[in-house]
């Protein structure tokens, strides 16, 4: 396998027999941000999800030029079940590469590994690092960087980062989304799934992901986890130190009553949460500042969403927006 080969597009999204839309969140995330990269979707019998693109067969997709079949499903245990393998093998036979963000590796399945080798195809197991990383150095590097941080896990950090990239580019500002999770890697075409990096090297991997750049270029680094989540705080801290962020954006989901997956663990106070993130970030960038708060109000109606955004903005004395409802112009104004 060529470890430095980029994931080629257009993509064919494989939804398997996903039981609901949440299970297909990887495919849906790709379509939300890179619809023009997606040729269609393949669904097996019993699939109850859709990514919102046309259903096609593997053969039809191959004729239309699909280059990579992406497993767009997240299932319990991150496994690739046996009954998916006929479809994956067919894609290899028809000249496609395969890509997966699941814990189970495509390259550990003999029939797929052997067929890929015979066909000259690449198996992308994007959750698993394809190279070794140095220790973080903390050395100052050129360019500008923004990191999204969260009051909890899964609060919209990737969507916020992508929305900021979109807004900056619309204003003619040089900017790149830097992916740190499997869905983000499919959207960016490359990246590092930092939750699979050995803990000592998370900050070094983040430095590698967002290297020195032109003075006016923004690297927009997708955050992971939360400093206040006992399960994921370690990867968050490594990201903060390696990102060396000039700016952070605090992401929040206001309808939750506890930390994700931990019913007995309360959500942090937002001011306390922001202060802790800024304090941690000052280790590698003493001049870091907060550009605003991004709130996922998808569980609220319009009136309730507007009220929450106003309350948080007043309390934090910062721009507060829902990136998907009203855009991130106010955050980018402050950023620039």
Q: Is residue 216 part of a domain?
A: yes
Taking residues 77-97, what's their average pLDDT?
95
Q: Is residue 83 part of a domain?
A: yes
Whether residues 156 and 117 fall in one domain: no
pLDDT for the residue numbered 100: 97
Task: Say whether pLDDT at 1 is over 80.
Answer: no
Domain CATH for 262: 3.40.50.300
pLDDT for the residue numbered 4: 53
Whether residues 178 and 252 fall in one domain: yes
Whether residues 118 and 226 fall in one domain: no
Whether residues 110 and 193 fall in one domain: no
* Contact partners, residue 262, CB within 8 Å, separation at least 6: 229, 230, 231
| Strand, helix or coil for residue 11 | strand
Whether residues 19 and 67 fall in one domain: yes
Q: Answer yes or no: are the C-beta atoms of 245 and 145 closer than 8 Å.
A: yes
Whether residues 206 and 273 fall in one domain: yes
Domain CATH for 107: 3.40.50.720
pLDDT for the residue numbered 76: 75
Q: Answer yes or no: are the C-beta atoms of 193 and 128 closer than 8 Å.
A: yes
Could you read off the pLDDT of 170-226 as tens digits, one per residue?
Answer: 999 999 999 999 999 999 989 999 999 999 999 999 999 999 999 999 999 999 999
| Strand, helix or coil for residue 144 | strand
* Contact partners, residue 63, CB within 8 Å, separation at least 6: none
Give the domain-ending residue among 80, 95, 125. 125
Integer Cα distance of 314 and 36 in angstroms: 39
CA-based nearest residue to 98, from 18, 186, 180: 186
Integer Cα distance of 193 and 128 in angstroms: 7
Integer Cα distance of 253 and 312 in angstroms: 12
Whether residues 100 and 150 fall in one domain: no
Task: Say whether pLDDT at 2 is over 70.
Answer: no
Whether residues 89 and 166 fall in one domain: no
Backbone φ and ψ of 325, nearest 5°: -95, -35
Tokens of 267: 């959500």
CA distance from start to end of the chain: 42
Whether residues 110 and 165 fall in one domain: no
pLDDT for the residue numbered 72: 97
**Total domain count for the chain?**
2
Tokens of 224: 């992971």
Q: Is residue 284 part of a domain?
A: yes
Q: Answer yes or no: are the C-beta atoms of 153 and 232 closer than 8 Å.
A: yes
pLDDT for the residue numbered 130: 81
Asked, as a colleague might, if the bond just before 158 is cis with ω within 30 of 0, I would say no
Q: Is residue 137 part of a domain?
A: no
Can you list the alpha helix ranges (DSSP code H) found in 100-259? 110-119, 157-170, 182-188, 202-209, 233-243
Tokens of 79: 């496994």
Tokens of 66: 């699909």
pLDDT for the residue numbered 51: 96
Q: Is residue 138 part of a domain?
A: no
Q: Is residue 2 part of a domain?
A: no
CA-based nearest residue to 72, from 99, 90, 32: 99
Whether residues 190 and 292 fall in one domain: yes
* Contact partners, residue 6, CB within 8 Å, separation at least 6: 189, 190
| Strand, helix or coil for residue 194 | helix
Q: Is residue 6 part of a domain?
A: no
Least confident of 3-17, 98-112, 280-294: 3-17
Whether residues 236 and 157 fall in one domain: yes
* Contact partners, residue 35, CB within 8 Å, separation at least 6: 53
Domain that holds residue 114: 11-125
Q: Is residue 134 part of a domain?
A: no
Whether residues 94 and 149 fall in one domain: no
Give the domain-ending residue among 92, 125, 158. 125
Q: Could you give the strand order of the β-sheet that contains 247-252, starting from the edge strand earlier in sequence?
A: 175-178, 218-221, 144-150, 247-252, 289-295, 320-321
Q: Answer yes or no: are the C-beta atoms of 152 and 183 closer than 8 Å.
A: no
């Amino acid at each position: 396998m060529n470890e430095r080969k980029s994931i080629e597009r257009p993509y064919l999204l494989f939804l398997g027999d996903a039981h609901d839309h949440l299970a297909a969140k990887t495919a849906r995330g790709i379509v939300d941000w890179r619809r023009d990269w997606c040729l269609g979707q393949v669904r097996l019998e019993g699939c109850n999800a859709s990514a919102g693109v046309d259903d096609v067969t593997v053969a039809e997709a191959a004729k239309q030029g699909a280059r990579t079949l992406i497993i767009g499903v997240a299932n319990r245990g991150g496994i690739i079940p046996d009954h998916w393998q006929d479809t994956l093998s067919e894609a290899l036979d028809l000249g496609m590469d395969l890509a997966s963000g699941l814990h189970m590796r495509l390259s550990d399945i003999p029939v797929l590994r052997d067929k890929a080798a015979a066909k000259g195809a690449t198996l992308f197991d994007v959750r698993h690092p394809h190279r070794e990383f140095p220790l973080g150095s903390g050395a100052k590097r050129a360019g500008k960087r923004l990191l999204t941080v969260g009051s909890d896990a899964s609060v919209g950090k990737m969507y916020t980062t992508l929305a900021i990239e979109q807004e900056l580019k619309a204003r003619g500002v040089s900017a790149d989304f830097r992916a740190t999770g499997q869905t983000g890697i499919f959207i960016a075409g490359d990246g590092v799934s930092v939750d699979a990096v050995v803990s000592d090297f998370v900050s070094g991997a983040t430095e590698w992901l967002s290297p020195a750049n032109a003075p006016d270029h923004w690297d927009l680094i997708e955050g992971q986890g939360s400093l206040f989540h006992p399960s994921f705080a370690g990867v968050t801290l490594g990201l903060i130190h390696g990102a060396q962020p000039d700016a952070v954006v605090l992401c929040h989901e206001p309808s939750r009553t506890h930390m994700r997956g931990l019913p007995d663990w309360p959500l942090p106070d937002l001011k306390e949460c922001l202060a802790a993130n800024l304090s941690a970030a000052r280790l590698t960038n003493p001049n870091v500042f907060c550009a605003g708060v991004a709130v996922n109000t998808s569980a609220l109606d319009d009136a309730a969403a507007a009220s929450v955004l106003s309350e948080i903005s007043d309390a934090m004395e910062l721009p507060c927006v829902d990136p998907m409802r009203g855009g991130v112009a106010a955050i980018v104004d402050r950023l620039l």
